[in-house]
Chain A
């Protein structure tokens, strides 16, 4: 058995534009997500990063190629792989707790009470105790993204995919949420095993990732890989940090 929990194998995907032209978004992409790693994927806006994540999550079927989770093809969404969207999408008519419980409905052999206890504990973990009965409309952007995170983690996924989760937050909230994700990762017992973070923000990627894949713009292909060997939490002001940032920028341009 190799060390990959999720394998992207020769994936290509295109869209049809309204005029009938074919728009290649991803071309022959292959890479592994290893057990226990925090993988950063960086590319310019509109380079098909979101499409890639949706393919990895099983939301979109790629035109060719496949995604393997523990050696088995991913054919649709599964509780083992969670995806956090760029926009915090919550159902406004459900309370925070109900939104999280919604993710547990697909889990078998779990009672209603257990669902609530579990959802509650994950809300505590992301720092939202006391907001269970609030509605999403009453929360700030950062709090909403935390609810989304709790909802993504509540099924104990092996892989957490994150699509620019900080880009719609104000800078301060983004900093604290990044810190928290870092802290969650330090927990030995907590899911997920591996995290994939997609972003166009290079500093963010360098701060959090163990390994970074750099994508070309459309159609997206992997043009380079950088292993970041720095202890966490990482200080953005060190020269070492900026060496990594520069290296990535060089690969991107």
Chain B
């Protein structure tokens, strides 16, 4: 392939992948507005929807492979592959947006609803003038993290296989894997450059202005943004002027950790089990049409092996905690260093958010040769990519939210740098740090499915040591539905148990120590 052809095909691949991402994002927003508003308005729907959302968001993308293939591909082989891919991207973008909508419609001032009642507003008017404006600001702020999350798993969405069915769609993921298999370094670099440029453009031209749109009620912004002014107009009643700039990753955090807080521990464990077992086994029953169902169940457990599951869980656990620990170790000093310098922190935030949207899975082929003999290091770097930003942005947000008066007192008392960090910054950053870790750990568990075993078409990179992500990936690509369901159950149970018995406990301990609510 000559250079021009490489550039053209790379450009097209990025374009096609971005269109897929955009389509999934639009579907995510529509889904979120419908489901989120319904959950926010209707109490009985809320009781069902919130726990289900909590389960769904804890399932890594591979868990949706069977659904994507059985539902979309089976329904229409012609468009099915495309729909399946969009569906998979959707599953990695949607949950934080849905929860943001739910939360913003659920906690609308009751007075406002009283007024709506007294004015006899119709359901549509209510939606148009109250619910929609209430949730729009948080929807647009969730775009950026959702996009970043979708890009992280784009390879999985574009090259999906389940047993005998293998679908390969034209896009960045596929193209990079082809270049990687062919050893075409120039090709990889070309795709990456175009992808990075496109990511920067989407962020700078769209997400960042959209995210900051609701911050100030100034005159309409120039250029492209004016076209989106209708969003701002729609949300007019809920516009607030925020003192600190919004960090969209923080929004994501708020959505996900909010979700975690809504569900009780035992409840969510039990529901997780029931839900996964039910869906998993029902799906299996449907697929196998009941043939030798129980036989295959028995076989599965024998094949996967309980000891295998447990040792995989232990190794994955160590990887996840290692990544979280590493993120904490660099996030605190970095955030402390920039938090009090507004211009620097705005710049760093912008750069980091863009960097976070560049999928490490696509960058990997560039370093495939170097990292070939270091599978654990590769896995670690990839988990880190799915982890560290949440910790960093959360700590930064925590530091930025330190009350002004406390900083003035610190100035007044001429606290030396170390005393200031120890007595003022760290206590204020700690609760934020823990919520950051919760989301980060959740992201890390989801990220394991590509980190421990990255499938880039014919290029497969996996860790030598066992891991749940590796196991899930192997079973899923081999088409072993029961096997993947059992791994999913183990994985999501660990996440729930960790949230409840470690992170939540830690948070409560810190909160009581710091005398904060």
A71 is an interface residue with CB less than 8 A from chain B? no
Residue-wise, chain B 392-414 has the 8 Å CB interface mask toward A (1 for contact) of 00000000000101101101111
Residue-wise, chain A 43-66 has the 8 Å CB interface mask toward B (1 for contact) of 000000000001001010000000
Interface of B is mostly: helix
The chain B residues found within 8 Å of chain A, CB to CB, are 216, 218, 241, 403, 405-406, 408-409, 411-416, 419, 423-424, 427, 513-516
* Contact B413–A57 (Cβ < 8 Å): no
Interfacial chain A residues near B423, Cβ < 8 Å? 91, 94, 102
Besides A93-B515, A102-B413, A105-B419, 19 other CB < 8 A contacts? Answer: A18-B216, A18-B241, A57-B412, A59-B411, A78-B414, A79-B414, A89-B405, A89-B409, A91-B409, A91-B423, A92-B514, A93-B514, A93-B516, A103-B413, A105-B413, A105-B415, A106-B415, A135-B515, A151-B413
**How near does chain A come to B255, taking the closest CB pair, in angstroms?**
27
Interfacial chain B residues near A151, Cβ < 8 Å? 413
Cα A77 to Cα B408 in complex, Å, equals 10
**Which of A76, A85, A106 interacts with B408 by CB under 8 Å?**
A85
Interface size class of A (residues with CB under 8 A): 20 to 34
* Contact B405–A77 (Cβ < 8 Å): no
Interfacial chain B residues near A72, Cβ < 8 Å? none
The chain A residues found within 8 Å of chain B, CB to CB, are 18-19, 54, 57, 59, 76-79, 82-83, 85, 87, 89, 91-94, 102-103, 105-106, 135-137, 151
Cα A209 to Cα B413 in complex, Å, equals 26
The 4 closest A-B pairs by CB, nearest first: A93-B514, A106-B414, A92-B515, A89-B405
Contacts A/B (CB < 8 Å), 21 sampled: A18-B216, A18-B218, A18-B241, A59-B412, A76-B414, A77-B412, A77-B414, A82-B412, A83-B412, A87-B405, A89-B403, A89-B406, A89-B408, A89-B409, A91-B424, A92-B515, A92-B516, A93-B427, A94-B423, A105-B415, A151-B413
**Which of A87, A89, A105, A135 interacts with B416 by CB under 8 Å?**
A105
* Contact B514–A106 (Cβ < 8 Å): no
Interfacial chain A residues near B406, Cβ < 8 Å? 89, 91
**How near does chain A come to B281, taking the closest CB pair, in angstroms?**
50
Cα A83 to Cα B403 in complex, Å, equals 17
Cα A87 to Cα B403 in complex, Å, equals 12
- Contact A77 B411, CB 8 Å, known A85-B405, A91-B423, A105-B416: yes
**How near does chain B come to A187, taking the closest CB pair, in angstroms?**
24
**How near does chain A come to B412, taking the closest CB pair, in angstroms?**
5
Interface of A is mostly: loop
Interfacial chain A residues near B412, Cβ < 8 Å? 57, 59, 77, 82-83
Query: Among A85, A105, A136, A151, which residue has the most Cβ atoms of chain B within 10 A?
Result: A105
**How near does chain A come to B152, taking the closest CB pair, in angstroms?**
36
* Contact B415–A85 (Cβ < 8 Å): no
* Contact B515–A77 (Cβ < 8 Å): no
Cα A136 to Cα B424 in complex, Å, equals 15
Cα A54 to Cα B407 in complex, Å, equals 13
- Select from chain B the residue with minimum beta-carbon distance to A107: B414
Interfacial chain A residues near B424, Cβ < 8 Å? 91
Interfacial chain B residues near A135, Cβ < 8 Å? 515
Query: Among A77, A79, A85, which residue has the most Cβ atoms of chain B within 10 A?
Result: A77
Interfacial chain B residues near A78, Cβ < 8 Å? 414
Interfacial chain A residues near B513, Cβ < 8 Å? 93
**How near does chain A come to B514, taking the closest CB pair, in angstroms?**
4
* Contact A91–B416 (Cβ < 8 Å): no
Interfacial chain A residues near B408, Cβ < 8 Å? 54, 59, 85, 89
* Contact A102–B415 (Cβ < 8 Å): yes
**How near does chain A come to B296, taking the closest CB pair, in angstroms?**
56
**Which of A19, A92, A106 interacts with B413 by CB under 8 Å?**
A106
Cα A66 to Cα B494 in complex, Å, equals 62
Cα A19 to Cα B514 in complex, Å, equals 38
Cα A5 to Cα B423 in complex, Å, equals 33
- Select from chain A the residue with minimum beta-carbon distance to B510: A93
- Select from chain A the residue with minimum beta-carbon distance to B404: A89
